[in-house]
C-alpha cells in the first residue's frame, strides 16, 4: 500500500503561496518607481474617466525585466470592462495590454533580448517556469499575480497577472504609455522582423491569438460551419482564424451594420445583422435547421441590452448579461462546440445547464494562452497567410486617449479598432 505522503502538486502549491506571501506585489510597486524622469501615460481614474498624465518612468525591478519604449498600443474591448466599471479598480492606474516597442534597458539575467530589439508583448504576465506555464496554461501562471489562487473567486484568487488590468490581475502598469516595464522578459516578448510595420504585427499581442484560440479549442476543421457572435476586433480575428482552418462557412452576427461591412472586407463571412430578425433562427436557416457545428462568443458580458434587461441584472446582482451565451447554446447544433472568449466577470443566474446537457454541448472558455501560440501565429503573419491591420479604423496620438476611449466605447465614428502612438 502506498504511504501517505504530501503530493508534489500540493507541496508546490504551498511553496508558491508562501513565496507570494513574502513577496512585494510586483505590479503595484512599479507605480511607485522612484524615477525622476517622467512620461505620459493613460491613467484610469474612475469609471468613464481616463486621462493622460505625467507619471514617473518605470525602472528595472528584477534582473529578468526589460523596459520598453512603446511605439504602438491599441485599445481592446477588455479595456472597456474597466472603463465602464464592470471590473473594479479603486486606485488610479496605467492601463493597456496590447502594445509593442523597442527594448531600451534589459536586466542582467535577460538572455533572449538586447537593447534595440523591436518586440511584441503577449498580454498575460507569465513566469515561464511554474507548473502552469510548464503545461502551456500561461494565463494560470501561479507566480506573477500576488492575488493568484486556485479558486478563481469573484474578487480574490484570480489567474495570472495581466498588463494594465486592475489590482485583481496583479496591479501591473500597462502599455498605453511612453514606457512600460515588462517582467519575465525571456518568456513573453517576441522579436519582430525589421521589414514589418507595427500595424502588421501589433495584434499578435492579444486579439489574433484570442480569435485563433476560440477556433483551436473547438477544433474547427473543413467540415464545420462556424457561427460567431460579435463583429468586434475579436470576432473578426476569430473569423479570419476559422478561414485559415478551412471552415466550410463562417457566419458573423452583430447589431452594427458598419462593423459587418468591415468584416465582409476583412474575412470570408456570411453576415447576420441581429437588428433585422432573430439571429439564432437565421443561423438555423443557414444550417439545414440544425445549428452551427461551432459557435463562438466574442461579445461577453457587455452585450447590447434594453432597459428591462438592465434592471433585471441589477436585481440579480449581476454585471452585464449572459444573453449572448444563451444565444450561443441555442445556435449550436446538438453535440456542437461552444468557445467563449468574450469576458464574463460575475456569476449569472439561470445558466441554461439543462440545455447544455440535453444538447450534449462542449464548452471552452478563458483568457488566451498567448505565449503558447504566438510563434505559430507570428509565422502565419510573416508568411502573409493572414493580414491583421485591415481592422484598424483610427490612428491617434496617445494624448487623444480620452477621446478614443469614449468613441470606441460608444461605437461612434464607425470605430472598430484604435491604435495609439505615444
Residues that bind Zn ion (CB under 5 A): 76, 78, 206
Question: Which residues, in sequence order, are CB contacts of 379 under 8 Å at separation 6+?
Answer: none
- Check binding of 174 to ligand NAD (CB under 6 A): no
Rounded Cα gap, residues 406 and 412, in angstroms: 8
CB of 65 to ligand NAD, least distance (A): 24
Rounded Cα gap, residues 399 and 37, in angstroms: 18
Please select the residue that binds ligand NAD; options are 110, 234, 263, 419, rule is CB under 6 A. 234
What does 292 bind: Zn ion, ligand NAD, none (CB cut-off 5 to 8 Å by kind)? none
Stretch that binds ligand NAD, among 38-46, 125-133, 205-213, 398-406 (CB under 6 A): 205-213
Rounded Cα gap, residues 55 and 286, in angstroms: 53
Rounded Cα gap, residues 196 and 192, in angstroms: 7
- Show the binding pattern over residues 350-389: x = contacts ligand NAD (CB under 6 A), - = does not: -----------------xx---------------------
Report which of 136, 46, 56 is spatially closest to residue 82, judged by C-alpha positions: 46
CB of 160 to ligand NAD, least distance (A): 11
| Distance set, CA 82 to CA 78, 85, 205, 301 (Å) | 7, 5, 19, 12
- What is the number of the residue whose Cβ is closest to Zn ion? 76
**Closer of 23 and 276 to ligand NAD (Cβ):** 276
**Closer of 76 and 238 to Zn ion (Cβ):** 76
What does 300 bind: ligand NAD, Zn ion, none (CB cut-off 5 to 8 Å by kind)? ligand NAD
- Check binding of 78 to ligand NAD (CB under 6 A): yes
- Check binding of 230 to ligand NAD (CB under 6 A): yes
Stretch that binds ligand NAD, among 45-53, 156-164, 193-201, 253-261 (CB under 6 A): 253-261
What does 324 bind: Zn ion, ligand NAD, none (CB cut-off 5 to 8 Å by kind)? ligand NAD
Helix residue spans in 245-391 (DSSP H): 257-266, 279-285, 307-315, 323-331, 353-359, 370-382
Rounded Cα gap, residues 180 and 173, in angstroms: 7
- Show the binding pattern over residues 338-357: x = contacts ligand NAD (CB under 6 A), - = does not: ---xxx--------------
**Closer of 127 and 370 to ligand NAD (Cβ):** 370
The full DSSP string for 89-131 is: --S-EE---EEEEEEEEE-TT--S--TT-EEEE-SEE--SSSH
What does 342 bind: ligand NAD, Zn ion, none (CB cut-off 5 to 8 Å by kind)? ligand NAD
Q: How many CB atoms lie within 10 A of CB 368?
A: 26
**Closer of 56 and 352 to ligand NAD (Cβ):** 352
CB 48 within 8 A of CB 403: no
Report which of 175, 169, 141 is spatially closest to residue 155, judged by C-alpha positions: 169
Rounded Cα gap, residues 91 and 326, in angstroms: 34
**Closer of 206 and 254 to Zn ion (Cβ):** 206
List of E strands, 5-151: 38-46, 49-56, 66-74, 93-94, 98-106, 118-121, 124-125
With contacts defined by CB under 6 A, how many residues of the chain interact with ligand NAD? 32
Residues contributing to the site for ligand NAD (CB under 6 A): 76-78, 80-81, 206-207, 210, 229-235, 253-256, 259, 274, 298-300, 303-304, 324, 341-343, 367-368
Amino acid at each position: 500500500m502506498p504511504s501517505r505522503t504530501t503530493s508534489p502538486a500540493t507541496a508546490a502549491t504551498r511553496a508558491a503561496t508562501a513565496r507570494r506571501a513574502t513577496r512585494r506585489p510586483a505590479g503595484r510597486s512599479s507605480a511607485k518607481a522612484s524615477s525622476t524622469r517622467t512620461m505620459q501615460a493613460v491613467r484610469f481614474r474612475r469609471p468613464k474617466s481616463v486621462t493622460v498624465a505625467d507619471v514617473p518612468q518605470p525602472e528595472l525591478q528584477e534582473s529578468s525585466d526589460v523596459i520598453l519604449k512603446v511605439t504602438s498600443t491599441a485599445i481592446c474591448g477588455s479595456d472597456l470592462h474597466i472603463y465602464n466599471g464592470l471590473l473594479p479598480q479603486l486606485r488610479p492606474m496605467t492601463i493597456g495590454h496590447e502594445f509593442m516597442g523597442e527594448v531600451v534597458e534589459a536586466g542582467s539575467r535577460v538572455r533572449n533580448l538586447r537593447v534595440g530589439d523591436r518586440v511584441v508583448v503577449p498580454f498575460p504576465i507569465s513566469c515561464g517556469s511554474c507548473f502552469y506555464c510548464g503545461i502551456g496554461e500561461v494565463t494560470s501562471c501561479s507566480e506573477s499575480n500576488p492575488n493568484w489562487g486556485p479558486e478563481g473567486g469573484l474578487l480574490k484568487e484570480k489567474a495570472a497577472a495581466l498588463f494594465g488590468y486592475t489590482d485583481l490581475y496583479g496591479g501591473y502598469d500597462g502599455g498605453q504609455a511612453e514606457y512600460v516595464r515588462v517582467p519575465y522578459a525571456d518568456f513573453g516578448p517576441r522579436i519582430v522582423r525589421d521589414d514589418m510595420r507595427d500595424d502588421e504585427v501589433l495584434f499578435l499581442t492579444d486579439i489574433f491569438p484570442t480569435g485563433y484560440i476560440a477556433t483551436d479549442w473547438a477544433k474547427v476543421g473543413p467540415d464545420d460551419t462556424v457561427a460567431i457572435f460579435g463583429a468586434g476586433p475579436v470576432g473578426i480575428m476569430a473569423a479570419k482564424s476559422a478561414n485559415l482552418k478551412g471552415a466550410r462557412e463562417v457566419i458573423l452576427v452583430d447589431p452594427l451594420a458598419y462593423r459587418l461591412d468591415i468584416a465582409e472586407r476583412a474575412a470570408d463571412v456570411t453576415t447576420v445583422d441581429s437588428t433585422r430578425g432573430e439571429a439564432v433562427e437565421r443561423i438555423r436557416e443557414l444550417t439545414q435547421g440544425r445549428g452551427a457545428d461551432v459557435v463562438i462568443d466574442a461579445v461577453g458580458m457587455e452585450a447590447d441590452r434594453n432597459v428591462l434587461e438592465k434592471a433585471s441584472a441589477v436585481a440579480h446582482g449581476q454585471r452585464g448579461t449572459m444573453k449572448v451565451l444563451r444565444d450561443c447554446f441555442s445556435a449550436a447544433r446538438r453535440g456542437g462546440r461552444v468557445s467563449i472568449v468574450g469576458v464574463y466577470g460575475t456569476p449569472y443566474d439561470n445558466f441554461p445547464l439543462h440545455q447544455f446537457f440535453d444538447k450534449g454541448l462542449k464548452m471552452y472558455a478563458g483568457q488566451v494562452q498567448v505565449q503558447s501560440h504566438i510563434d505559430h501565429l507570428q509565422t502565419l503573419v510573416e508568411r502573409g497567410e493572414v493580414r491583421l491591420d485591415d481592422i484598424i479604423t483610427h490612428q491617434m496620438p496617445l494624448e487623444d486617449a480620452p477621446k478614443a476611449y469614449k468613441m470606441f466605447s460608444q461605437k461612434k465614428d464607425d470605430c472598430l479598432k484604435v491604435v495609439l502612438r505615444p
